[in-house]
């Protein structure tokens, strides 16, 4: 369907986490130099919910997110970063690397609330037109399918894989990286936002944000 927008309701992490993400991104680009850099159109983030929503309903989606956040104790939302992992899809011989996170129970509760709040505006069957693309860029079938199947595949305990994507690396390099010791750290949200997605789940276009939770009241 061409009247849909692929969105990511995501958490913007704190400054310490951003620095860690950029450090890992530089490491991945040593492995695959033409892999994406974390920048204004590839923001480090923690996906909470991805869906295809009717473009005409975007304002309703923003209102639903706002109401959900206003009813949430945002101070209880935390994650523990515990390892580097990867998904082996998209480019043969490469993996997309992520910082793996353990979400708090409150994060899982927020995810469930967001899903329920925006579900009246969701549809399935999004095409490449739902995404942000560069000239000549295609959206991979794996990306199209991932957004379509995010619910129920990534919803709730034992399903949701919270993570921060940090770039592409070769599978050989990833085996070395993942075997190295990882210094665990706590991740705290700095705000939340709705982005339009690009290929490989990149947060490409900011649609609405609630930085530092400052827009939750009034």
Distances (CA, A) of 167 to 18, 61, 96, 137, 146: 14, 29, 6, 18, 18
Within 10 A of 55 (CB to CB), how many other CB atoms are there?
Answer: 17
Query: How far does the chain reach from its first CA to its final CA, in angstroms?
Result: 36
Distances (CA, A) of 119 to 73, 142, 149: 22, 22, 14
* CA-wise closest residue to 11 among 87, 97, 62, 79: 79
One digit per residue, pLDDT tens: the chain, 218 residues?
A: 569 999 999 999 999 999 999 999 999 999 999 888 888 777 789 999 999 999 999 999 999 999 999 999 988 999 999 999 998 866 789 999 999 999 999 999 999 999 999 999 999 999 999 999 999 899 999 899 999 999 999 999 999 999 999 999 999 999 999 999 999 999 999 999 999 999 888 889 999 999 866 555 44
Q: Domain holding 85: CATH number?
A: 3.90.1140.10
What's the predicted TM-score (pTM) here? Answer: 0.89
Upper half-sphere CA count for residue 175 (Cβ side, 13 Å): 4
Q: In whole angstroms, give the CA distance from residue 146 to residue 164.
A: 16
Structural domain includes residue 217? no
pLDDT value of position 90: 65
Spell out a b/e string for 83-107, using b for 16 or more CB atoms within 10 Å of the CB, else e: ebbbbebbeeebbbbbbbbebeeeb
Structural domain includes residue 218? no
Structural domain boundaries, residue 141: 4-211
In total, how many domains does the chain have?
1
Structural domain includes residue 130? yes
């Amino acid at each position: 369907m061409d009247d849909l927008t692929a969105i990511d309701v995501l958490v913007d992490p704190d400054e310490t986490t951003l620095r860690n993400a950029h450090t890992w991104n530089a490491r991945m680009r040593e492995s695959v130099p033409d892999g994406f850099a974390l920048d204004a159109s590839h923001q480090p983030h923690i996906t909470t919910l991805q869906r295809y929503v009717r473009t005409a309903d975007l304002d309703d989606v923003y209102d639903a997110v706002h109401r959900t956040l206003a009813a949430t104790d945002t101070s209880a939302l935390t994650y523990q970063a515990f390892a580097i992992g990867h998904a082996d899809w998209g480019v043969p011989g490469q993996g997309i690397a992520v910082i793996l996170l353990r979400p708090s129970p409150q994060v899982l509760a927020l995810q469930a609330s967001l899903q329920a709040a925006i579900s009246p505006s969701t549809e399935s069957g999004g095409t490449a037109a739902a995404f942000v693309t560069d000239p000549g860029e295609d959206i991979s079938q794996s990306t199209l399918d991932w957004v379509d199947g995010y619910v129920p595949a990534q919803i709730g305990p034992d399903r949701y894989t919270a993570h921060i994507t940090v770039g592409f690396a070769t599978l050989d390099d990833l085996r070395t990286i993942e075997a190295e010791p990882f210094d665990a750290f706590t991740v705290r949200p700095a705000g939340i936002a709705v982005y339009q997605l690009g290929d490989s789940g990149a947060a490409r276009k900011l649609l609405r944000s609630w930085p530092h939770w400052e827009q939750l009241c009034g």
